[in-house]
């Protein structure tokens, strides 16, 4: 598989989300990354299922919903119904992670698990055969526009190795501080889905920023 770009609308103008999605899609976005925050797991509050439902009406590409909330089990159903194609949940809040992953899959949605920067890769070793994707946080979740944590690069490679050992073709997604200065090394480390918020919607031209970042990601793959 190639490398997919998932622009995060967290950094877009929330009064014009349809325009943001359209610009990213014109630039070649493969997914739209939706950051759901509850003010408990992370110190910020963003959006819920009704907004995902509206986004689903305008987006041509699949919606990748990242749940940064303390009780994801309660909301998986509503987000699936709203139109999420991928749902990722944080291992830090889930004592029954295996059950949650299979509950997501049972809804016909791709199931991902997310590791915070301080969470070791071993936390997902027992579900390595179950997941559809693993999201490595390369910043502490809660806000867009933060600086990439360099240690994330080797973490991506470690997750890749874990999945390979498990015989699982699941992909590694990376989220936080991805821009033209970090894209090459994360792709080389094995990331195949790249989330980018500020680098795209914080730029004056989201369509062009999406295209540039995707071209850089594909070039890194071919080197
Ligand atoms: C952070 C979110 C990210 C965020 C990334 O809590 O999970 O998806 O939008 O933003 P940038 O690319 O600006 O670091
Ligand atoms: Zn995210």
- Summarised one tens digit per residue, pLDDT across range 15-41 is 999 999 999 999 999 999 999 999 999
Beta bridge mates, 153: none
Encoded tokens for 71: 């009780």
What is the reported pTM? 0.98
CA gyration radius, the chain: 16
**Which residues have a Cβ under 8 Å from the Cβ of 203 and sit 6 or more positions away?**
209
pLDDT given at position 223:
76
d(CA 171, CA 50): 28
CA of 173 to the centre of ligand 2 (A): 10
d(CA 160, CA 190): 6
Ligand 1 atom at minimum distance from 200 CA: 12
Between the CA atoms of 203, 150, 191 and 60, what dihedral angle is there, to the nearest 10 degrees? -20
Residue count (the chain): 223
35 part of the active site: yes
**Long-range contacts at 73-78 (CB < 8 A, ≥ 24 apart):** 73/100, 73/103, 75/36, 75/48, 75/49, 76/100, 76/103, 76/104, 76/107, 76/109, 77/107, 78/48, 78/49
Q: What is the pLDDT of residues 175-191, one digit of tens each?
A: 999 999 999 999 999 99
CA of 161 to the centre of ligand 2 (A): 23
Beta bridge mates, 175: 137, 195
User: Quick one: average pLDDT of 103-127?
Assistant: 98
d(CA 10, CA 130): 29
């Amino acid at each position: 598989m190639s490398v997919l770009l998932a622009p995060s609308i967290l950094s877009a103008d929330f009064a014009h989300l349809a325009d943001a999605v359209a610009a990213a899609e014109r630039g070649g976005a493969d997914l739209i990354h939706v950051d759901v925050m509850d003010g408990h797991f992370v110190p910020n509050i963003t959006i819920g299922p009704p907004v995902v439902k509206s986004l689903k009406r305008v987006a041509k590409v699949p919606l990748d919903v990242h749940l940064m909330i303390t009780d994801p089990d309660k909301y998986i159903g509503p987000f699936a119904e709203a139109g999420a194609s991928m749902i990722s949940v944080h291992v830090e809040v889930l004592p029954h992670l295996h059950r949650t992953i299979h509950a997501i899959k049972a809804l016909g949605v791709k199931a991902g698990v997310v590791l915070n920067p301080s969470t070791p890769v071993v936390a997902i070793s027992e579900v390595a055969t179950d997941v559809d994707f693993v999201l490595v946080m390369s910043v502490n979740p809660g806000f867009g526009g933060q600086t990439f944590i360099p240690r994330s690069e080797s973490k991506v490679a470690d997750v890749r190795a874990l999945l390979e050992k498990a015989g699982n073709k699941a992909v590694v997604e990376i989220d936080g501080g991805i821009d033209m200065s970090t894209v090459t090394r994360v792709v080389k480390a094995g990331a195949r889905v790249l989330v980018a918020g500020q680098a795209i919607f914080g730029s004056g031209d989201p369509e062009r920023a999406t295209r540039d970042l995707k071209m850089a990601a594909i070039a890194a793959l071919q080197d």
